[in-house]
Amino acid sequence: MQNLLSDVVVVDLTRALAGPHAAMMLGDLGARVIKVETPNGGDDSRGWGPPFVEGESTYYLSANRNKESVTADLKSDEGKEFLTKLVRRADVLIENFRPGVLDRLGFAVERLHEINPGLVILSITGFGHDGPEGGRAGYDQIAQGEGGLMSITGETEPTKVGAPIADLLAGMYGAYGALAALHERAITGKGRVVRTSLLASVVGVHAFHGTKWTVAHELPERVGNHHAQIAPYGLYRTQDDIVQVAVGSEGLWRLFAPIVGLDPADERFAVNSDRVAHRDELTAAIETAFASEPADVWLQRLADKGIPAGKVRDFQQVYDWEQTLSQGLLIDVEHPTLGTIQLPGPPLRFDENRYAGARETNLPPPRLGEHNDSVRKWLEE
């Protein structure tokens, strides 16, 4: 089980988040990931903070577990020779330069495949590698806005998702595309280029909001902490706190309505389309009922009837939660300067493995150039 990608070597030329996240996903699955960084500072995210702990950026730590770090100036002859040797030994190369940068360094796609015909190349850009705006730099919040995600998030004004979701999704899409290309290579022996972008990743998760426009020609609108097309489904105030409730079927509605003193056959709320049309009235009625008891009382009542509901936890509550721990979502790693630290772990489990991911031992995010000697020695073997 620990050998899922143990025969795969990944060259990670990326920085910031989208590319490093893609490379980390492959590392979590057992691949050997060699992160190539500039000698003068390395990955930009090493300097992103606060917080810093003993000089280490927690931002950088979030996206670089299960990797080795080497430094090289790819503009120098020595750096180019080093990268050429790496490419010969690699199965996957990941880059998130602006379009044309790798070409100018002397490593256009044609050259990379000349060095290694079986190389899978994953290229992540901001807005795509071509098209009228293909050269634009990509930053998460800008992509969230340009890709429409902010237009459906928030209440009175467009709001970004709290996590850098465009970056993370681009990394996820990129990793899954790279795995598909590796599968094809096992049949054909040839590598190919896989491309995605922050824009593509955001548009790729429009889901029913997208078809609301493309098919029904209705413009999606912000509905805050409520589902755009299902009611009641959202966040509600109780006597002392907030709870979330998801009444996702007519059967659940018939169970839920009496709990809050409503007639499930009330003509305003009888079917989902009616409830969406009268959402404000429905929300007011639910919150009037919920105001009579604390959140924990309501959560228990809803659980007793099989109504999906839950709390809104802060990060301390999430990482202290026994259910989170039971899924192996916190891992311990031995960092060379920080000692034993906990990191959010891989989100996949295989078979009956107690821990997430596919490695027997997870590697800490590396210090800049930590593996310069060992990787260069390996290249000469």
User: Smallest Cα–Cα separation from 30: which of 13, 62, 8?
Assistant: 8
Distance of CA 90 to the CA centre of its chain: 25
Active site residues: 167
3 state SS of 195: strand
CA distance 381 to 379: 6
Q: Is the peptide bond before 117 cis (omega within 30 degrees of 0)?
A: no
Measured CA distances, 231 to 245, 252, 253, 310 (Å): 10, 11, 9, 16
Helix (H) or strand (E) holding 165: helix 165-188
DSSP, res 216:
T
CA distance 242 to 239: 8
CA distance 187 to 141: 39
